């Protein structure tokens, strides 16, 4: 199979990720079923509402399929809510998560929607990006992951082999370097 990036499309801002992928000439697919996931080499779990997405992943059995693909070294990237869904631990919450990244996250760490903001963030391997934080989580315990970006002393991006998590929304800026890096660099972990 060639490179095809799936974007989880059951809720959230998946359309912006698809637009970013198409703009760099990547093959991309909206993923709502296990069959669609099977057609992908990579997966992006976009921002959205984590409680809702968790319930839908459980209801349709897609969560188990994503976990299975992660164990098989599929490159998976979670942005904002996607990082929450990938976390092993979510502070002050009993919500469902995939448990893929060995991290603890705190939801809405910078405040509610009205407190959304943009800021420059240095991402290891990519450079400085404009990070859009919308009800963004932070990583309060990096576990066995590698912190690759911080903002105001707090971890906002991590990498663990073939897995990537960012607190912010790179798909909203028009800067596609993180998408390119995910496909190329994180994708190379699949073969490593």
CATH number of the domain that residue 14 is part of: 3.40.50.880
What pLDDT score was predicted for residue 192? 44
Cα(71)–Cα(67) distance, integer angstroms: 6
Q: Confirm whether 169 is a catalytic residue.
A: yes
pLDDT band at 22 (very low <50, low <70, confident <90, very high): very high
Catalytic annotation, pick one of 42, 80, 180, 185: 80
What pLDDT score was predicted for residue 58? 87
Segment 102-160, tens digit of pLDDT: 999 999 888 776 668 999 999 999 999 999 999 899 999 999 999 999 999 999 999 99
pLDDT band at 59 (very low <50, low <70, confident <90, very high): confident
Query: What is the domain extent for residue 25?
Result: 5-191
| Burial of 35 (C-beta count, 10 Å sphere; 0-12/13-18/19+) | exposed
Average pLDDT, the chain: 92
Tell me the mean pLDDT in the region 27-43: 95
Share above pLDDT 70 across residues of the chain, in percent, rounded to a whole number: 95
The total domain count for the chain is 1
Give the Cα-Cα-Cα angle 160, 74, 103 (nearest 5 degrees): 30
Catalytic annotation, pick one of 17, 42, 169, 179: 169
Q: Confirm whether 80 is a catalytic residue.
A: yes
């Amino acid at each position: 199979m060639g490179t095809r990036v799936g974007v989880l499309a059951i809720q959230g801002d998946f359309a912006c990720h698809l637009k970013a992928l198409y703009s760099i000439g990547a093959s991309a697919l909206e993923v709502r079923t296990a069959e669609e996931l099977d057609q992908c080499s990579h997966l992006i779990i976009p921002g959205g509402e984590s409680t809702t997405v968790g319930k839908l992943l459980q209801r349709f059995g897609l969560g188990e399929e994503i976990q299975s693909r992660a164990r098989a070294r599929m490159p998976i990237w979670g942005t904002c809510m996607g990082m929450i869904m990938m976390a092993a631990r979510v502070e002050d919450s009993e919500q469902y998560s995939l448990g893929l990244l060995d991290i603890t996250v705190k939801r809405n760490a910078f405040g509610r929607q009205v407190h959304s903001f943009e800021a420059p963030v240095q991402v290891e391997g990519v450079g400085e990006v404009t990070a859009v934080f919308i009800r963004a989580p932070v990583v309060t315990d990096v576990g066995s992951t590698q912190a690759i970006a911080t903002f105001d002393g707090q971890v906002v991006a991590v990498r663990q082999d073939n897995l990537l998590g960012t607190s912010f929304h790179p798909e909203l800026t028009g800067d596609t370097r993180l998408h390119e890096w995910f496909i190329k660099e994180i994708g190379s972990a699949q073969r490593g």
